[in-house]
Structure 1
Amino acid sequence: MINSLAKLLVAVAMAGTLTACGRGEEIAACGEDESAADAPAEAASPIKLTAGIQDIMLDMIDPSADFLWESVSVTETAQGVEEKQPRTDEEWAEVRKHAIILAEAANLILMEGRHVAREGKVLGDHGTPGNLTAEEAEKAIAADRATYEGFGQALHDVGVAFLEAAEERNPKAIMDAGETMDQVCEGCHLKFWYPGQKIPAFPDQAPEAH
C-alpha cells in the first residue's frame, strides 16, 4: 500500500512537470528552456551618435586646445619678457573647464560607430591637396584602429595632465602638457587626416636653384 502511494506521488509530480514544460518534451529540455527564459536580454545601447569626428574636433577639441595652449606663455619684447598665466580663481577655473572638455572629447572620438563626418557632409578642408576625404579617413582609421585609439588615449591623457596642472595651479606643467599635445595632434593628423600634405620649406631650407 505504501509502495503504491509512493508510486502515485511520483507519477503526479512527473505529470505536473511535463504539463508545465509542454507535453511530449523532455524534462531536461524543459530545464534548459527555463534557464534561457531567466537569462537577462541584452539591453539596447542608450547612446545615440549625432556628431562626426570632425564636429567634435572643430567644436570641442580645437577651441579647448587653443585656449590651453594660449593660457600660459613667455614672450620677449623690446620692453622685456612678458609672462602670461592664469592668476585668479576664475582664470584657473577656465583652464580646468577646457582641460575636462579636451579629455572627455578624446573619449567621444573613440566611440565605436562614430563616422568621420555626418551623413551627407564633407570635411571642412575637403579638396585640399594631400588631405584625405571623409571616406578615405574612415578607411584609414578602420585599417589601423589600434593606432587611432592610441592617439585618442594619448590626447585624453594630455587633457588629464592639463586638469591636474590647473588644480595644482602649475604654469610649468601647463606648458609641458601643451608640448605633448602638439606632438599627439600632429602625429594623428599626419596619419589619418593629411598624410600626403606637402609642408613648404622655410626660405633657408629651400633647395638652391641651379
Structure 2
Amino acid sequence: MNAWKSGVLKVSGRGIRRSVATLAVLALSLSSCGSHKSSAAENAVTESPPLKAIASIKELMDSTVDPSADGLWNSVWIVSNANGVDKHQPRTDEEWHEVRRHAITLIESMNLAMIPGRPAAPSGTKAGLGELTPQQIDAMVKANRPEFDEFAGAVRESAVEALAAIDHKDPEALSRIGGEIDERCEACHTTFWYPNSKRPNK
C-alpha cells in the first residue's frame, strides 16, 4: 500500500514501534554518554591533586616560616628605659593587615611542612653546630612522622590563635601567643634537629 496519500505519510503500527524503539535506544545512548562525561567531570573535581614537596624543610624555614614568625614576634614589644616605657604594636588598619599576612603565611607553611617526602635540607648541606646531619634528621622524621606532624600542627594552631588576636586587634593576646609559637618551634627543633640539647616543654 502506498504510504503517501493526500500529502500525508502513513506509517504502519510496526513502523511506529520500530521508530519508537530506535529513538529510545538513541536517547539511552545520549543519556549514558552525558552521564559518563558528568561522572568523569565530577571525579576530576573531587580527586585531590597530587602534592609534591620540592623545597627542603630548611628552605621552607628560610623562605616562609622564619620571616612570618619574625613578623609576628616583632609586631608587639615593650621596652623600658630611663625615658619611660615604649610600647610597640600595630595601630593602623594597614599595620594590622601586614601582621595578618604573616599569620596566614605561618599557618599555611605548617601545612606545607607536613607534606611527606620533604627532605630536611638540600643535597650537600652540612650539619650546623650541635645539629644532626640532614640524613639523620630525615631518618628521625621518617621514623617519628606522627610526632613531627604533631609539632607542625601545634605551631599551626597557635598561628590560628594569633590570627584571631590580630582580627580582634588584641596586642596582649598576640604577644602571649607569640611566646607559645616560639616554645613550640623550639620543641620541634630540639626533638629532630639537636635532640642532645635541653628540650623545653611543648
TM-score (norm 2): 0.71
Identity within the alignment, %: 40
Shift of 1:147: 1.2
Structure 1 Cα separation of the partners of residues 49 and 93 of structure 2: 39
Query: How many residue pairs are counted as aligned between the two chains?
Result: 158
**3-state SS of the aligned residue for 1:181?**
helix
Measured in 1, the distance between the counterparts of 2:48 and 2:73 equals 40
Which residue number in structure 2 is paired with residue 103 of structure 1? 107
* 1:120-152 CA-partner distances (Å, limit 9, x unpaired): 241xxx343420111110111111111111100
Q: Give the deviation of 1:45 after TM superposition.
A: 4.2
Cα distance change of structure 1 residues 150 and 44 upon mapping to structure 2, 3 Å threshold: closer
Q: Which runs of 5+ in 1 are unaligned?
A: 1-37, 200-210
Does 2:73 align with 1:93? no
**One-letter identity of the residue aligned with 2:84:** G
User: How many angstroms does 1:164 deviate by?
Assistant: 0.8
Question: Structure 2: 5+ residue runs without aligned partners?
Answer: 1-38
CA distance in 2, matches of 1:194, 1:61: 18
Q: Name segments (4+ residues, structure 1) moved above 6 Å.
A: 38-41
CA RMSD of aligned residues (A): 2.4
1:74-120 CA distances to partner (integer Å, 9 max, x unpaired)? Answer: 110110011000000110001100000000000100011222123x2
2:86 is paired with a residue whose SS is strand
Letter in 2 for 1:139: A
Contact 2:52/2:115 (CA < 8 Å) preserved in 1?
A: no
- Provide the C-alpha distance between the structure 2 equivalents of 1:198 and 1:158, rounded to a whole number of angstroms: 22
Question: Residue type matched to 1:87 in 2?
Answer: R
Instruction: Name the aligned partner's letter for residue 180 of structure 2.
Output: T
The whole-number CA distance in structure 2 between the counterparts of 1:44 and 1:158 is: 27
- Counterpart position of 2:186: 186
TM-score w.r.t. length of structure 1: 0.69
